[in-house]
Structure 1
Amino acid sequence: MIAIKELMTISVPQLKSIATGYISQHIFEISKDESFEKITYVLKRKKLKKFTKRDIFDEDSFKHYSSLVGNGFCLGVYDKKSLIGFCIAEPETWNSSLWVWEFHIKREYQLQGFGSKLMMELEKRSRKNDLRIIICETQNTNVPAIDFYRKNGFTIDGFDLSYYSNEDLENGEIALFMKKKL
Protein backbone atom coordinates (compact mmCIF):
# COMPACT_ATOMS: atom_id res chain seq x y z
CA MET A 1 0.00 0.00 0.00
CA ILE A 2 1.55 3.29 -1.13
CA ALA A 3 0.85 6.40 0.97
CA ILE A 4 2.01 10.02 0.82
CA LYS A 5 2.43 11.64 4.22
CA GLU A 6 4.16 14.62 5.73
CA LEU A 7 7.78 13.91 6.64
CA MET A 8 8.40 14.31 10.35
CA THR A 9 12.07 13.29 10.27
CA ILE A 10 14.72 12.57 7.66
CA SER A 11 18.14 11.01 8.15
CA VAL A 12 21.31 11.09 6.09
CA PRO A 13 21.05 7.32 5.38
CA GLN A 14 17.46 7.82 4.13
CA LEU A 15 18.56 10.69 1.86
CA LYS A 16 21.46 8.70 0.48
CA SER A 17 19.44 5.52 -0.09
CA ILE A 18 16.81 7.34 -2.18
CA ALA A 19 18.64 10.29 -3.74
CA THR A 20 21.35 8.22 -5.38
CA GLY A 21 21.78 10.33 -8.50
CA TYR A 22 20.54 9.91 -12.04
CA ILE A 23 21.27 8.11 -15.28
CA SER A 24 20.98 10.10 -18.50
CA GLN A 25 21.67 9.63 -22.19
CA HIS A 26 20.95 13.23 -23.16
CA ILE A 27 21.85 16.80 -22.38
CA PHE A 28 20.15 20.07 -23.18
CA GLU A 29 23.08 21.96 -24.72
CA ILE A 30 22.92 25.73 -24.62
CA SER A 31 24.13 27.95 -27.42
CA LYS A 32 24.28 31.71 -27.57
CA ASP A 33 23.99 34.10 -30.50
CA GLU A 34 24.80 37.69 -29.60
CA SER A 35 24.75 40.90 -31.58
CA PHE A 36 24.30 44.52 -30.61
CA GLU A 37 20.54 44.29 -31.22
CA LYS A 38 19.74 40.92 -29.66
CA ILE A 39 20.96 38.05 -27.54
CA THR A 40 19.47 34.63 -28.21
CA TYR A 41 19.97 31.46 -26.19
CA VAL A 42 18.85 28.07 -27.49
CA LEU A 43 18.54 24.86 -25.48
CA LYS A 44 18.72 21.78 -27.71
CA ARG A 45 18.43 18.13 -26.67
CA LYS A 46 21.48 16.13 -27.71
CA LYS A 47 22.07 12.39 -27.34
CA LEU A 48 25.12 11.35 -25.34
CA LYS A 49 26.77 8.17 -24.22
CA LYS A 50 24.87 6.89 -21.15
CA PHE A 51 26.31 8.27 -17.90
CA THR A 52 25.54 8.28 -14.18
CA LYS A 53 25.75 11.31 -11.91
CA ARG A 54 25.81 10.77 -8.14
CA ASP A 55 24.11 13.06 -5.63
CA ILE A 56 26.23 14.38 -2.78
CA PHE A 57 24.73 15.93 0.35
CA ASP A 58 26.89 18.17 2.49
CA GLU A 59 26.33 18.82 6.19
CA ASP A 60 24.95 22.34 5.63
CA SER A 61 22.35 21.07 3.14
CA PHE A 62 21.28 18.31 5.51
CA LYS A 63 20.92 20.78 8.40
CA HIS A 64 18.81 23.06 6.20
CA TYR A 65 16.62 20.19 5.02
CA SER A 66 16.18 18.95 8.60
CA SER A 67 15.03 22.41 9.67
CA LEU A 68 12.30 22.33 6.98
CA VAL A 69 10.87 18.93 7.93
CA GLY A 70 7.47 19.39 9.54
CA ASN A 71 6.63 22.57 7.57
CA GLY A 72 3.79 20.86 5.68
CA PHE A 73 5.70 20.82 2.37
CA CYS A 74 8.25 18.09 3.10
CA LEU A 75 6.53 14.89 2.08
CA GLY A 76 7.38 11.21 2.01
CA VAL A 77 6.15 8.39 -0.21
CA TYR A 78 5.83 5.17 1.77
CA ASP A 79 5.43 1.55 0.67
CA LYS A 80 3.93 0.17 3.87
CA LYS A 81 6.38 1.66 6.41
CA SER A 82 9.35 1.98 4.08
CA LEU A 83 10.26 5.44 2.73
CA ILE A 84 10.60 5.12 -1.07
CA GLY A 85 10.52 8.78 -2.09
CA PHE A 86 10.48 12.29 -0.70
CA CYS A 87 10.41 15.96 -1.46
CA ILE A 88 11.95 18.73 0.60
CA ALA A 89 10.28 22.05 -0.16
CA GLU A 90 10.16 25.50 1.40
CA PRO A 91 7.51 28.20 1.00
CA GLU A 92 8.75 31.71 0.26
CA THR A 93 6.16 34.10 1.69
CA TRP A 94 7.58 37.26 0.11
CA ASN A 95 6.61 36.08 -3.39
CA SER A 96 4.07 33.33 -2.62
CA SER A 97 6.20 30.58 -4.15
CA LEU A 98 7.31 27.10 -3.17
CA TRP A 99 10.97 26.24 -3.67
CA VAL A 100 11.57 22.49 -4.12
CA TRP A 101 15.05 21.68 -2.83
CA GLU A 102 14.93 17.91 -3.37
CA PHE A 103 12.49 15.61 -5.19
CA HIS A 104 13.37 11.91 -5.43
CA ILE A 105 11.79 8.49 -5.91
CA LYS A 106 13.85 5.36 -5.26
CA ARG A 107 15.07 4.00 -8.61
CA GLU A 108 13.12 0.71 -8.46
CA TYR A 109 9.86 2.65 -7.88
CA GLN A 110 10.36 5.15 -10.70
CA LEU A 111 8.12 5.26 -13.80
CA GLN A 112 5.15 3.91 -11.82
CA GLY A 113 3.37 7.23 -11.17
CA PHE A 114 4.57 7.78 -7.60
CA GLY A 115 6.52 10.93 -8.48
CA SER A 116 3.48 12.42 -10.23
CA LYS A 117 1.28 11.60 -7.23
CA LEU A 118 3.82 13.22 -4.92
CA MET A 119 3.87 16.32 -7.13
CA MET A 120 0.05 16.46 -7.16
CA GLU A 121 0.02 16.40 -3.35
CA LEU A 122 2.62 19.18 -3.26
CA GLU A 123 0.48 21.24 -5.66
CA LYS A 124 -2.63 20.63 -3.54
CA ARG A 125 -0.86 21.85 -0.40
CA SER A 126 0.57 24.85 -2.28
CA ARG A 127 -2.86 25.93 -3.51
CA LYS A 128 -4.36 25.47 -0.04
CA ASN A 129 -1.68 27.85 1.29
CA ASP A 130 -2.28 30.44 -1.47
CA LEU A 131 1.07 29.87 -3.15
CA ARG A 132 1.11 30.90 -6.81
CA ILE A 133 4.01 28.91 -8.25
CA ILE A 134 6.30 25.91 -7.64
CA ILE A 135 10.01 26.27 -8.52
CA CYS A 136 12.57 23.51 -9.12
CA GLU A 137 16.22 23.69 -10.12
CA THR A 138 17.91 20.93 -12.08
CA GLN A 139 20.94 20.51 -14.32
CA ASN A 140 20.74 20.56 -18.10
CA THR A 141 22.35 17.09 -17.92
CA ASN A 142 19.48 15.67 -15.83
CA VAL A 143 17.16 15.15 -18.78
CA PRO A 144 15.07 12.48 -16.98
CA ALA A 145 14.17 15.13 -14.34
CA ILE A 146 13.47 17.75 -17.03
CA ASP A 147 11.18 15.29 -18.83
CA PHE A 148 9.40 14.42 -15.56
CA TYR A 149 8.80 18.06 -14.64
CA ARG A 150 7.59 18.91 -18.16
CA LYS A 151 5.21 15.93 -18.09
CA ASN A 152 3.83 17.35 -14.83
CA GLY A 153 3.17 20.83 -16.23
CA PHE A 154 6.46 22.62 -15.50
CA THR A 155 8.22 24.81 -18.04
CA ILE A 156 11.81 25.98 -18.23
CA ASP A 157 11.59 29.53 -16.95
CA GLY A 158 15.25 30.46 -16.73
CA PHE A 159 18.84 29.28 -16.48
CA ASP A 160 22.06 30.30 -14.77
CA LEU A 161 25.39 29.91 -16.55
CA SER A 162 27.41 30.16 -13.30
CA TYR A 163 25.14 28.75 -10.56
CA TYR A 164 27.46 25.88 -9.56
CA SER A 165 30.86 27.38 -10.44
CA ASN A 166 32.47 30.02 -12.62
CA GLU A 167 33.17 27.33 -15.23
CA ASP A 168 29.66 25.87 -15.60
CA LEU A 169 29.27 26.76 -19.26
CA GLU A 170 32.74 25.44 -20.13
CA ASN A 171 32.04 22.26 -18.11
CA GLY A 172 28.74 21.74 -19.93
CA GLU A 173 26.56 21.71 -16.81
CA ILE A 174 24.28 24.67 -16.18
CA ALA A 175 21.33 25.22 -13.85
CA LEU A 176 17.82 25.21 -15.30
CA PHE A 177 14.93 26.67 -13.33
CA MET A 178 11.58 25.05 -13.97
CA LYS A 179 8.29 26.47 -12.74
CA LYS A 180 4.65 25.55 -12.61
CA LYS A 181 2.10 28.30 -12.16
CA LEU A 182 -0.82 27.31 -9.94
Structure 2
Amino acid sequence: MDIFIRELRAGDEECGTNIDGSFIVDSTLVLQLMGQRIGYTVKEIPLRIKSYDDEQLEEDTVGDYSNYIDNPDQIIYVALANNQVVGQIVLKRNWNKYAYVEDIKVDKQYRGYGVGKKLIEQAKRWAMDGRMTGIMLETQNNNVRACKFYESCGFVIGGFDSYVYRGLDKNSDEIAIYWYLILD
Protein backbone atom coordinates (compact mmCIF):
# COMPACT_ATOMS: atom_id res chain seq x y z
CA MET A 1 0.00 0.00 0.00
CA ASP A 2 1.37 3.40 -1.00
CA ILE A 3 1.01 6.07 1.66
CA PHE A 4 1.55 9.70 0.71
CA ILE A 5 2.05 12.43 3.34
CA ARG A 6 1.30 16.04 2.49
CA GLU A 7 0.56 19.32 4.20
CA LEU A 8 -3.08 20.29 4.66
CA ARG A 9 -4.05 22.86 2.03
CA ALA A 10 -6.77 25.48 1.70
CA GLY A 11 -9.83 23.82 0.24
CA ASP A 12 -9.29 20.53 2.05
CA GLU A 13 -12.77 20.69 3.60
CA GLU A 14 -13.50 18.12 6.27
CA CYS A 15 -10.04 16.70 5.78
CA GLY A 16 -9.55 13.98 8.34
CA THR A 17 -13.02 14.25 9.85
CA ASN A 18 -13.88 10.72 8.72
CA ILE A 19 -10.88 9.09 10.41
CA ASP A 20 -11.97 6.48 12.95
CA GLY A 21 -9.58 7.27 15.79
CA SER A 22 -11.18 4.87 18.25
CA PHE A 23 -8.92 2.45 20.08
CA ILE A 24 -9.12 -0.74 22.08
CA VAL A 25 -8.61 -0.47 25.81
CA ASP A 26 -7.70 -3.88 27.20
CA SER A 27 -4.74 -2.96 29.37
CA THR A 28 -3.17 -0.06 31.18
CA LEU A 29 0.34 1.09 31.97
CA VAL A 30 1.29 0.94 35.64
CA LEU A 31 3.97 3.60 36.01
CA GLN A 32 7.05 3.21 38.19
CA LEU A 33 9.77 5.67 39.06
CA MET A 34 13.15 3.96 38.70
CA GLY A 35 15.81 6.45 39.74
CA GLN A 36 15.48 9.34 37.29
CA ARG A 37 13.59 7.23 34.72
CA ILE A 38 9.88 6.45 34.51
CA GLY A 39 9.18 2.86 33.54
CA TYR A 40 6.06 0.77 33.44
CA THR A 41 4.48 -2.64 33.50
CA VAL A 42 1.32 -3.54 31.61
CA LYS A 43 -1.77 -4.71 33.47
CA GLU A 44 -4.74 -6.29 31.67
CA ILE A 45 -8.19 -4.78 32.27
CA PRO A 46 -11.68 -5.54 30.87
CA LEU A 47 -11.92 -4.78 27.15
CA ARG A 48 -13.74 -1.70 25.85
CA ILE A 49 -13.54 0.66 22.88
CA LYS A 50 -12.69 4.33 23.48
CA SER A 51 -12.82 7.38 21.24
CA TYR A 52 -12.04 10.97 22.08
CA ASP A 53 -13.75 12.11 18.88
CA ASP A 54 -17.05 11.83 20.75
CA GLU A 55 -15.79 14.14 23.50
CA GLN A 56 -14.46 17.08 21.46
CA LEU A 57 -15.20 20.48 22.92
CA GLU A 58 -16.61 23.40 20.95
CA GLU A 59 -13.40 25.40 21.13
CA ASP A 60 -11.32 22.56 19.69
CA THR A 61 -9.88 23.19 16.25
CA VAL A 62 -11.18 19.89 14.89
CA GLY A 63 -13.81 21.59 12.73
CA ASP A 64 -11.72 24.53 11.51
CA TYR A 65 -8.13 23.99 10.49
CA SER A 66 -7.84 27.21 8.49
CA ASN A 67 -5.54 28.85 11.05
CA TYR A 68 -2.99 26.05 10.48
CA ILE A 69 -2.61 26.76 6.77
CA ASP A 70 0.45 28.84 5.84
CA ASN A 71 1.28 29.36 9.52
CA PRO A 72 4.99 28.87 10.34
CA ASP A 73 4.21 27.93 13.97
CA GLN A 74 1.62 25.22 13.38
CA ILE A 75 0.86 22.72 10.66
CA ILE A 76 -1.24 19.71 9.78
CA TYR A 77 -0.07 16.80 7.68
CA VAL A 78 -2.46 14.26 6.23
CA ALA A 79 -1.71 10.71 5.16
CA LEU A 80 -3.41 9.53 2.00
CA ALA A 81 -3.95 6.06 0.59
CA ASN A 82 -5.74 5.88 -2.77
CA ASN A 83 -6.53 9.61 -2.49
CA GLN A 84 -8.39 9.00 0.78
CA VAL A 85 -7.29 10.62 4.04
CA VAL A 86 -6.37 7.76 6.38
CA GLY A 87 -4.37 9.65 9.02
CA GLN A 88 -3.30 13.06 10.24
CA ILE A 89 -0.93 14.78 12.63
CA VAL A 90 -1.58 18.25 14.04
CA LEU A 91 1.56 20.08 15.23
CA LYS A 92 2.45 23.41 16.77
CA ARG A 93 5.64 25.09 17.91
CA ASN A 94 5.43 24.95 21.70
CA TRP A 95 6.79 27.61 24.07
CA ASN A 96 9.65 25.28 25.19
CA LYS A 97 11.10 24.86 21.68
CA TYR A 98 9.51 21.45 21.19
CA ALA A 99 7.09 20.56 18.42
CA TYR A 100 3.90 19.63 20.25
CA VAL A 101 1.65 16.97 18.73
CA GLU A 102 -1.85 18.26 19.39
CA ASP A 103 -3.40 15.25 17.70
CA ILE A 104 -2.32 12.21 15.73
CA LYS A 105 -4.64 9.56 14.47
CA VAL A 106 -4.72 6.79 11.93
CA ASP A 107 -7.98 5.27 10.78
CA LYS A 108 -8.34 1.89 12.45
CA GLN A 109 -8.57 0.13 9.07
CA TYR A 110 -5.10 1.44 8.12
CA ARG A 111 -3.21 0.72 11.33
CA GLY A 112 -0.24 -1.60 10.97
CA TYR A 113 0.72 -0.29 7.51
CA GLY A 114 3.29 2.28 8.66
CA VAL A 115 1.01 5.33 8.40
CA GLY A 116 1.75 6.50 11.95
CA LYS A 117 5.51 6.08 11.48
CA LYS A 118 5.38 8.17 8.31
CA LEU A 119 3.46 10.90 10.14
CA ILE A 120 6.01 10.92 12.98
CA GLU A 121 8.88 11.04 10.44
CA GLN A 122 7.23 14.06 8.81
CA ALA A 123 6.82 15.68 12.24
CA LYS A 124 10.55 15.13 12.87
CA ARG A 125 11.42 16.87 9.59
CA TRP A 126 9.14 19.79 10.43
CA ALA A 127 10.67 20.12 13.91
CA MET A 128 14.24 19.91 12.60
CA ASP A 129 13.52 22.43 9.82
CA GLY A 130 12.12 24.75 12.50
CA ARG A 131 15.21 24.21 14.71
CA MET A 132 13.15 22.73 17.52
CA THR A 133 14.66 20.63 20.30
CA GLY A 134 12.39 17.65 19.79
CA ILE A 135 8.80 16.48 19.78
CA MET A 136 6.45 16.10 22.72
CA LEU A 137 2.97 14.69 23.07
CA GLU A 138 0.50 13.39 25.63
CA THR A 139 -1.45 10.19 25.66
CA GLN A 140 -3.21 8.11 28.27
CA ASN A 141 -2.05 5.14 30.31
CA ASN A 142 -5.03 3.16 28.99
CA ASN A 143 -3.98 3.65 25.35
CA VAL A 144 -1.24 1.04 25.60
CA ARG A 145 -0.97 0.46 21.84
CA ALA A 146 -0.27 4.18 21.31
CA CYS A 147 2.26 4.19 24.16
CA LYS A 148 4.07 1.19 22.64
CA PHE A 149 3.99 2.91 19.24
CA TYR A 150 5.57 6.11 20.58
CA GLU A 151 8.19 4.08 22.40
CA SER A 152 9.00 2.22 19.14
CA CYS A 153 9.54 5.63 17.48
CA GLY A 154 12.13 6.57 20.11
CA PHE A 155 9.98 8.56 22.53
CA VAL A 156 10.59 8.30 26.28
CA ILE A 157 8.27 9.13 29.17
CA GLY A 158 9.13 12.52 30.60
CA GLY A 159 6.31 12.83 33.11
CA PHE A 160 2.72 12.09 34.00
CA ASP A 161 -0.32 13.73 35.56
CA SER A 162 -3.06 11.79 37.33
CA TYR A 163 -5.46 14.77 37.52
CA VAL A 164 -5.81 15.86 33.87
CA TYR A 165 -8.72 13.55 33.03
CA ARG A 166 -10.49 14.13 36.33
CA GLY A 167 -11.74 17.38 34.80
CA LEU A 168 -13.91 15.26 32.49
CA ASP A 169 -14.81 12.67 35.12
CA LYS A 170 -13.91 13.22 38.79
CA ASN A 171 -13.64 9.43 39.26
CA SER A 172 -11.37 8.87 36.26
CA ASP A 173 -8.32 6.70 36.84
CA GLU A 174 -6.75 7.70 33.50
CA ILE A 175 -3.26 9.11 33.75
CA ALA A 176 -1.86 11.57 31.19
CA ILE A 177 1.60 10.44 30.08
CA TYR A 178 3.96 12.97 28.49
CA TRP A 179 6.28 11.51 25.85
CA TYR A 180 9.41 13.21 24.45
CA LEU A 181 11.60 12.59 21.43
CA ILE A 182 14.86 14.52 21.56
CA LEU A 183 16.25 15.42 18.13
CA ASP A 184 19.98 15.54 17.43
Give the counterpart letter for 1:68 in structure 2: Y
Q: 1:110 to 1:24 in 2, by over 3 A?
A: same
Cross-structure match for 1:49? 46
SS of the residue corresponding to residue 171 of structure 1 reads coil
SS of the residue corresponding to residue 150 of structure 1 reads helix
Cross-structure match for 2:81? 79
Query: Are the aligned partners of 2:3 and 2:81 in contact in 1 as well (CA < 8 Å)?
Result: yes
Query: Are the aligned partners of 2:15 and 2:85 in contact in 1 as well (CA < 8 Å)?
Result: no
How far did 1:29 drift? 2.9
Distance 1:42 1:150 in 2: 11
Cross-structure match for 1:163? 164
Distance 1:107 1:143 in 2: 15
Distance 2:104 2:167 in 1: 26
Give the counterpart letter for 1:21 in structure 2: S
How far did 1:95 drift? 2.1
Cross-structure match for 2:16? 14
Q: 1:162 to 1:11 in 2, by over 3 A?
A: farther
Give the counterpart letter for 2:83 in structure 1: K
Structural RMSD (CA): 2.8
Distance 1:8 1:59 in 2: 23
Q: Name whichever structure is richer in helix by fraction.
A: 1
Give the counterpart letter for 1:53 in structure 2: K
Where does the alignment leave 5 or more consecutive residues of structure 1 unmatched? Answer: 33-40
- Tell whether 2:129 aligns with 1:125: no
How far did 1:47 drift? 1.0
Distance 1:65 1:4 in 2: 20
Distance 2:119 2:89 in 1: 8
Q: 1:140 to 1:160 in 2, by over 3 A?
A: same
Give the counterpart letter for 1:119 in structure 2: I
Query: Are the aligned partners of 1:73 and 1:122 in contact in 2 as well (CA < 8 Å)?
Result: no
Distance 2:88 2:109 in 1: 14
Q: 1:30 to 1:105 in 2, by over 3 A?
A: same
How far did 1:176 drift? 0.5
Q: For residues 1-182 of structure 1, what are the structure 2 equivalents within 5 Å? A: 1-8=2-9, 14-15=16-17, 17-30=18-31, 43-55=40-52, 56-62=55-61, 66=65, 67-71=67-71, 73-92=75-94, 94-165=95-166, 170-182=171-183
How far did 1:64 drift? 8.6
Structure 1: 4+ residue segments shifted above 4 A: 9-13, 166-170
How far did 1:50 drift? 1.9
**Alignment deviations for residues 77-136 of structure 1 (CA, whole Å, 9 cap, x no partner):** 0113211100111012x4211110100111111011111011111101111110011011
